[in-house]
């Protein structure tokens, strides 16, 4: 056993040393490469199907932006990935003799059919074969093959028209990869082998079935390919071949028998077999100099055409064996079947997605068809400018070869990999490199806005701007694709014939956006290449119907989220969902909430569609408690109302922060809102209240009447504005005397929520992506700049002058320094636990009491000051309004409260402090009841941050509802506060609910004016204190009663985004004797 363990240890040590040596090839020379996995190298994501080949290329191209080339380990083999275009040019053209060959995938002794083809041949043999075959792919030869392509296209069109005529609606969904593979198969059968095959009618003919075997990427082919890449000796020992024996026998017999038959019967047909026979005899030459059509100069067959180098134009005297010719015919078949058909499928796909391009191309085709009397020839095809532009752009976005490979045949100095390198990198003989064509084609340096399909890049006005090295759909240098002219011609003939008769459009099976599948070795779109084909007529109408159908299907899918799981909801209006009554101001927000709460009495929760977004409205108190407290970690965040990148101040406020950032900010700020801190701010509130009372008394004097009508919303907004100015920013502002002061004007602008705000709010809810794109903000830049400058200048002034004032700026300065902590344990006056500052107070839970070491930026602190301003200006002022309103309508309550205020004023010698305020029992009862009837927020919102089981929506449901990550919930505080189950006779204003004798009867989850759980309102103590101080001061001097302008019964206005009473908040104020 010990010997076995020793040997295991030795083996592990040897393997470790071996892998370390293998995987140090690049690091030893300063070449960057991703982390490796032993044995797999950098191939694990490809091997296990996590990435496709193009996504793998992007890892190397995009993740090392400063490198000329980077390294990749293909299992144990080091491979260089070239990123620098100048280096690409040197490798592919200037120093081509160093990189003459492709990599080896098979042993010639084992698999002659693959190893003897033009791709696999090496050195001088490749040069000789290229020279022999090159004349077969000139324009003069290919023009003779166009009639064969046209004939095959016509039989395809007959099959398509038959399918469409037999369909019920005059359109059929077509798998374009299947269609183009059958077309390419029949073209090869005709053009290469002189066979007439109709794969659209005879769907399982032998020729087509062999094509599927040759180009298939089944498990056998993939395993063999990987084994040949990693362990070629093992592949040779087991005599593994890429082509099965049946394929080899089929093509050998087909080629040799056809050649034998033609020789014996003197048959001459201008196809590939004939050209190969000529090549064998040494009678194949470059003869394009004799043709008069201007079709063979550089880009004669289209922009994407590659030029033949001097190697391909040399004369060679060499005898080729029959197997050599069979190997070329098989390669031609394989490339034509798979590569060309895939490019055709992608061309049709892009045309279907871009109807404007398709329509313009159709017009060009139609014009040429009419002009040439329906004839089709090589010259006609090549003279169609827009067709070439479209094809060139398709080949840019979806290149036939995602990368070009080369093998170094003699040591070569690649230079330094990056600017930080201290030595050149020498690539050794036998090592491989890749040129990532896919990545160059999608690099904005070479092709601006690369993801956009834009044929105009290749117009006569623009194509000179293209770097010819960066565009390589058919390779670069002498070892480019020999068949580029043939491929382009075949592709264009197919598009000509299809678009002349057919309109292509996205199918319901078309998956958008377009992405390459990771499940296929060959380039395939996720979901396949499905499109809808319809005979040409009423183009606009068809597209309208298609778009409408797609829109309806999308809406149906969006609006089936709840019905699929038995969750009830109101009838939707397309696109608006359940928001129509709010949008058109038929209901206000509170009425809308009641529709869901009371409209479905037996439900634990119901659904609501906010435009296209599903939102769950929770009705069950136990479920609310779980969501907000017990399972809080599933619902930590509020919904997004803005994008932090667009609106950083609002996006960085405590309300908007998410996850751990919110927790850290809550912990940082929580000590600023404890009773001990707020008690220090009461003198500031009292001072502001006194200046308001003086202003009121002056108005009484000026009116010369015993009473005056007051707009309470204006009065309380000015009071809260001045409190914020003093308590938060240390400014003395008197908005009652200086009515148009800048601080008050800014507050009104930030909280007025006019039409622009409402539109931005709805746009952020319905189409956040568009809102981001348009950079729509909830808060104006003017207000943001005002707050930023005010905050920064105040902080700077205090730090330089060593000013300490017990206000919010001071507390935020302490928070920034990490000097703010919970210290209420030392105060004896008001306990900070439970509901010490009043029944409505929310308790700070453990999240806010933790210690956090985090540095916050000035912008973070400004964001909190801005939030404090807005909340203090609007939310507190409207709550004060509703308290005054209820007191005016209930003089008995007002009188009892006045007596309590008067008694405490006498008892404390006219002094007002935090302790005195919170010992006033009836004051707290009144405030608590007002906050029940008029809660500051009508509903609480949460975002699900990880999937959560909500249980069954009702007793009749047979399945649980899983709310998904990113979906929203709403807790209807307003409706629960008016539910007689929890608050008997809820329409009655009754402070006695909150007396010491009754308040234990209240379900604390049902009472949530300041929220529930850890994400409750951090400023509840401050808000209650400010509200009570103002009531104390007003009632001590003023008697309230309804005004002639007061509308009764009290109802919330439908037209206001904020909570407002119809007719406004007008009351009559009268000085007390």
- 311 contact partners, CB below 8 Å, separation of at least 6: 127, 130, 131, 478
392: enclosing H helix or E strand: helix 385-397
Q: Flag whether pLDDT at 272 surpasses 70.
A: yes
Residue 164: inside a domain: yes
Averaged pLDDT for residues 13-34: 83
Task: State the pLDDT at residue 57.
Answer: 93
Averaged pLDDT for residues 571-595: 88
Are residue 744 and residue 893 in the same domain, yes or no? yes
- Here the tokens at position 956 are 């009749």
Averaged pLDDT for residues 438-462: 95
Are residue 618 and residue 512 in the same domain, yes or no? no
Domain count for the chain? 2
Q: Quick one: residue 733, left, alpha or beta (phi over 0 = left, psi -120 to 50 = alpha)?
A: beta
Q: Are 483 and 135 in contact (CB under 8 A)?
A: no
pLDDT tens digits, one per residue of 894-926: 999 999 999 999 999 989 999 999 899 999 999
Choice between 846 and 639, residue whose per-residue pLDDT is larger: 639
Averaged pLDDT for residues 123-146: 89
Q: Flag whether pLDDT at 278 surpasses 60.
A: yes
Residue 45: inside a domain: no
> CA 220 → CA 76, 91, 224, distances in Å?
22, 34, 6
Q: Roughly how many angstroms between the first and final C-alpha of the chain, as a whole number?
A: 105
Residue 1004: inside a domain: yes
Q: Flag whether pLDDT at 293 surpasses 50.
A: no
Residue 58: inside a domain: no
User: C-alpha 254: how far from its chain's center?
Assistant: 52
Closest alpha carbon to 948 in 931, 975, 969:
969
Residue 659: inside a domain: yes
Q: Are 128 and 316 in contact (CB under 8 A)?
A: yes
Averaged pLDDT for residues 585-613: 92
Choice between 901 and 114, residue whose per-residue pLDDT is larger: 901
Residue 557: inside a domain: no
Are residue 676 and residue 777 in the same domain, yes or no? yes
Averaged pLDDT for residues 336-348: 90
Residue 44: inside a domain: no
Q: Flag whether pLDDT at 1014 surpasses 90.
A: yes
Could you tell me the sign of the dihedral formed by the alpha carbons of 889, 893, 898, 904, in that order?
Answer: negative
Q: End of a domain among 528, 548, 568?
A: 548
Q: Are 102 and 407 in contact (CB under 8 A)?
A: yes
Task: State the pLDDT at residue 291.
Answer: 40
Rounded Cα distance, 498 and 160, in Å: 9
Task: State the pLDDT at residue 170.
Answer: 86
Averaged pLDDT for residues 58-78: 93
Sequential DSSP letters for 497-560: HHHHHEEEEE-TT--SS--B-SS-SS--BTT--EEEEEESS-HHHHHHHHHHHHHHHHHHHHTT
Rounded Cα distance, 256 and 322, in Å: 7
Q: How confident is the model at residue 444 (pLDDT cuts 50, 70, 90)?
A: very high
Could you tell me the sign of the dihedral formed by the alpha carbons of 741, 744, 750, 755, in that order?
Answer: negative
> By percentage, how much of the chain surpasses pLDDT 90?
51
Closest alpha carbon to 1013 in 664, 631, 666:
631
Are residue 735 and residue 836 in the same domain, yes or no? yes
Are residue 732 and residue 603 in the same domain, yes or no? yes
Q: End of a domain among 518, 548, 578?
A: 548
When the pLDDT of each residue in the chain is averaged and rounded to a whole number, the result is: 86
Predicted TM-score (pTM) of this structure: 0.55
Rounded Cα distance, 256 and 273, in Å: 10
Are residue 395 and residue 539 in the same domain, yes or no? yes
37: enclosing H helix or E strand: none
Strand pairing report for 948-949 and 605-610: unpaired
pLDDT tens digits, one per residue of 363-397: 999 989 988 888 899 999 999 999 999 999 999 99
> By percentage, how much of the chain surpasses pLDDT 70?
89
Residue 553: inside a domain: no
Averaged pLDDT for residues 196-221: 78
Q: Flag whether pLDDT at 504 surpasses 60.
A: yes
Q: Which of 210-224, 487-501, 783-797 has the lowest mean pLDDT?
A: 210-224
Are residue 495 and residue 621 in the same domain, yes or no? no
Q: Flag whether pLDDT at 217 surpasses 60.
A: no
Task: State the pLDDT at residue 830.
Answer: 45
Averaged pLDDT for residues 634-653: 86
* Neighbour-count burial for 162-192, b at 16+ CB within 10 Å, e otherwise: eebeeeeeebbebebbbbbbbbbbbbbbbbb
Peptide bond into 152 cis (omega under 30): no
Range of the domain at 1000: 593-1071
Q: Are 343 and 399 in contact (CB under 8 A)?
A: no
Closest alpha carbon to 808 in 745, 866, 873:
866
Q: End of a domain among 548, 577, 608?
A: 548
Question: Where are the extended beta strands (E) located within 946-988?
Answer: 948-949, 962-963, 968-971
Choice between 237 and 401, residue whose per-residue pLDDT is larger: 401
Are residue 539 and residue 608 in the same domain, yes or no? no
Q: Which CATH number fits the domain that encloses residue 184? A: 1.10.630.10
Rounded Cα distance, 43 and 810, in Å: 57
Task: Give φ, ψ of 334 to 5 degrees.
Answer: -60, -45
Rounded Cα distance, 42 and 710, in Å: 76
Q: Flag whether pLDDT at 754 surpasses 70.
A: no
Are residue 120 and residue 219 in the same domain, yes or no? yes
Task: State the pLDDT at residue 755.
Answer: 56
Q: Flag whether pLDDT at 459 surpasses 70.
A: yes
Task: State the pLDDT at residue 235.
Answer: 59
Task: State the pLDDT at residue 240.
Answer: 61
Q: Are 380 and 372 in contact (CB under 8 A)?
A: yes
Please classify residue 103 by burial: count the beta carbons closer than 10 Å to its beta carbon, then call 0-12 exposed, 13-18 middle and 19+ buried. buried
Rounded Cα distance, 884 and 838, in Å: 18
Q: Flag whether pLDDT at 874 surpasses 70.
A: yes
Q: Which of 57-71, 726-740, 990-1004, 1054-1068 has the lowest mean pLDDT?
A: 1054-1068
Are residue 692 and residue 774 in the same domain, yes or no? yes
Task: State the pLDDT at residue 361.
Answer: 96
Are residue 994 and residue 906 in the same domain, yes or no? yes
How many CA atoms lie less than 13 Å away from 1047 in the CB half-sphere? 10
Averaged pLDDT for residues 755-769: 66
Are residue 614 and residue 519 in the same domain, yes or no? no
């Amino acid at each position: 056993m010990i010997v076995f363990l020793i040997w295991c240890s030795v083996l592990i040590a040897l393997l470790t040393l071996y892998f370390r040596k293998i995987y140090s090839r690049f690091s030893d020379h300063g070449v960057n490469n991703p982390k490796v996995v032993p044995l797999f190298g950098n191939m694990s994501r490809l091997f296990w199907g996590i990435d496709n080949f193009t996504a793998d290329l992007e890892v190397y191209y995009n993740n090392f932006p400063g490198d000329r080339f980077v390294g990749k380990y293909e299992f144990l083999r080091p491979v260089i990935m070239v990123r620098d275009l100048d280096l690409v040019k040197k490798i592919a053209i200037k120093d081509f003799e160093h990189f003459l060959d492709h990599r080896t995938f098979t042993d010639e002794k084992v698999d002659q059919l693959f190893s003897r083809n033009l791709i696999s041949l090496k050195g001088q043999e490749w040069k000789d074969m290229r020279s022999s075959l090159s004349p077969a792919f000139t324009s003069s030869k290919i023009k003779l093959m166009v009639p064969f392509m046209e004939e095959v296209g016509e039989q395809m069109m007959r099959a398509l028209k038959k399918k469409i005529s037999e369909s019920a609606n005059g359109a059929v969904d077509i798998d374009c990869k299947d269609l183009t593979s059958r077309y390419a198969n029949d073209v090869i059968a005709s053009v290469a082998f002189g066979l007439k095959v109709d794969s659209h009618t005879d769907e399982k003919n032998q020729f087509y079935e062999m094509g599927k075997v040759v180009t298939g990427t089944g498990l056998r082919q993939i395993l063999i390919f990987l084994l040949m890449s990693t362990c070629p000796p093992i592949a040779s020992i087991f005599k593994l071949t890429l082509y099965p024996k049946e394929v080899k026998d089929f093509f050998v017999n087909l080629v040799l028998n056809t050649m034998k038959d033609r020789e014996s019967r003197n048959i001459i047909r201008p196809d590939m077999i004939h050209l190969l026979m000529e090549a064998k005899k040494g009678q194949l030459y470059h003869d394009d100099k004799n043709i008069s059509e201007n079709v063979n100069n550089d880009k004669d067959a289209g922009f994407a055409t590659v030029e033949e180098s001097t190697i391909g134009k040399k004369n060679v005297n060499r005898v080729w064996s029959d197997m050599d010719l069979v190997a070329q015919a098989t390669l031609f078949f394989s490339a034509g079947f798979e590569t060309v058909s895939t490019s055709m499928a992608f061309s049709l796909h892009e045309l279907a997605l871009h109807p404007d391009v398709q329509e313009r191309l159709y017009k060009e085709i139609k014009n040429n068809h009419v002009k040439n009397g329906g004839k089709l020839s090589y010259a006609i095809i090549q003279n169609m400018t827009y067709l070439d532009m479209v094809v060139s752009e398709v080949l840019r976005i979806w290149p036939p070869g995602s990368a070009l490979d080369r093998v170094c045949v003699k040591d070569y100095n690649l230079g330094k990999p990056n600017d930080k390198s201290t030595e050149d990198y020498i690539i050794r003989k036998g090592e491989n490199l890749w040129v990532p064509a896919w990545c160059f084609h999608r690099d904005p340096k070479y092709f601006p806005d690369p993801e956009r399909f834009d044929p105009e890049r290749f117009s006569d006005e623009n194509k000179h701007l293209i770097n010819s090295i960066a565009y390589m759909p058919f390779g670069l240098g002498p070892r480019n694709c020999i068949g580029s002219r043939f491929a382009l011609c075949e592709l264009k003939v197919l598009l000509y014939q299809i678009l002349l008769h057919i309109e292509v459009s996205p199918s319901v099976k078309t998956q958008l956006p377009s992405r390459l599948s990771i499940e296929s070795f060959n380039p395939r779109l996720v979901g396949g290449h499905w499109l809808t084909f319809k005979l040409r007529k009423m183009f606009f109408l068809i597209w309208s119907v298609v778009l409408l159908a797609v829109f309806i299907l999308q809406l149906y899918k969006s609006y089936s989220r709840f019905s699929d799981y038995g969750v009830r909801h109101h009838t939707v209006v397309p696109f608006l969902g359940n928001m129509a009554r709010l949008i058109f101001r038929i209901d206000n927000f509170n009425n809308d909430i009641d529709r869901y709460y009371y409209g479905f009495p037996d439900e634990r929760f119901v659904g609501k569609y906010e435009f296209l977004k599903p939102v769950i409205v929770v009705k069950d108190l136990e479920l609310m408690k779980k969501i907000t407290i017990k399972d809080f970690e599933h619902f930590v965040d509020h919904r997004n109302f803005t994008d932090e990148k667009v609106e950083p101040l609002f996006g960085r406020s405590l309300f908007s922060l998410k996850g751990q950032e919110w927790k850290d900010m809550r912990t940082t700020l929580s000590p600023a809102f404890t009773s001990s801190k707020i008690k220090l701010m009461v003198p500031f509130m009292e001072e502001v209240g006194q200046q308001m009372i003086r202003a009121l008394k002056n108005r009484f004097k000026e009116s010369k009447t015993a009473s005056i009508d007051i707009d309470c919303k204006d009065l309380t907004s000015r009071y809260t504005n001045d409190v914020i100015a003093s308590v938060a920013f240390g400014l003395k502002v008197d908005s009652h005397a200086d009515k148009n002061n800048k601080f008050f004007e800014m507050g009104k602008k930030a909280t007025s929520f006019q039409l622009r705000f409402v539109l931005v709010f709805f746009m952020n809810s319905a189409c956040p992506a568009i809102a981001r794109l348009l950079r729509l903000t909830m808060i104006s830049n003017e207000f943001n700049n005002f707050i930023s400058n005010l905050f920064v200048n105040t902080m700077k002034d205090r730090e330089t002058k060593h000013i300490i004032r017990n206000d919010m700026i001071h507390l935020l300065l302490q928070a920034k320094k990490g000097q703010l902590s919970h210290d209420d344990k030392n105060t004896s006056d008001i306990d900070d636990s439970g509901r010490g500052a009043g029944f409505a107070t929310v308790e700070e839970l453990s999240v806010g009491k933790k210690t956090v070491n985090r540095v916050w930026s000035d912008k973070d602190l400004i964001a909190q000051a801005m939030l404090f301003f807005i909340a203090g200006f609007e939310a507190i002022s409207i709550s004060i309004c509703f308290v005054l309103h209820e007191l005016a309508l209930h003089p008995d309550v007002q009188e009892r409260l006045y007596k309590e205020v008067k008694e405490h004023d006498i008892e404390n010698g006219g002094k007002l402090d935090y302790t005195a305020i919170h010992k006033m029992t009836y004051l707290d009862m009144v405030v608590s009841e007002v906050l029940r009837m008029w809660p500051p927020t009508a509903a609480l919102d949460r975002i699900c941050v990880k999937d959560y089981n909500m249980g069954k929506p009702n007793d009749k449901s047979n399945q649980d509802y899983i709310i998904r990550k990113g979906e929203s919930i709403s807790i209807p505080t307003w409706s629960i506060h008016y539910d007689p189950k929890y608050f008997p006779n809820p329409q009655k204003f009754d402070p006695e609910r909150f007396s010491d004798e009754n308040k234990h009867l209240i379900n604390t989850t049902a009472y949530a004016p300041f929220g529930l759980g850890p994400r409750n309102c951090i400023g509840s103590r401050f808000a209650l204190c400010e509200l009570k101080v103002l009531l104390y001061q007003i009632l001590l001097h003023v008697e309230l009663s309804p005004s002639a302008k007061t509308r009764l019964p009290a109802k919330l206005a439908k037209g206001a985004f904020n909570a407002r009473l119809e007719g406004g908040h007008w009351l009559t104020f009268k000085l007390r004797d």
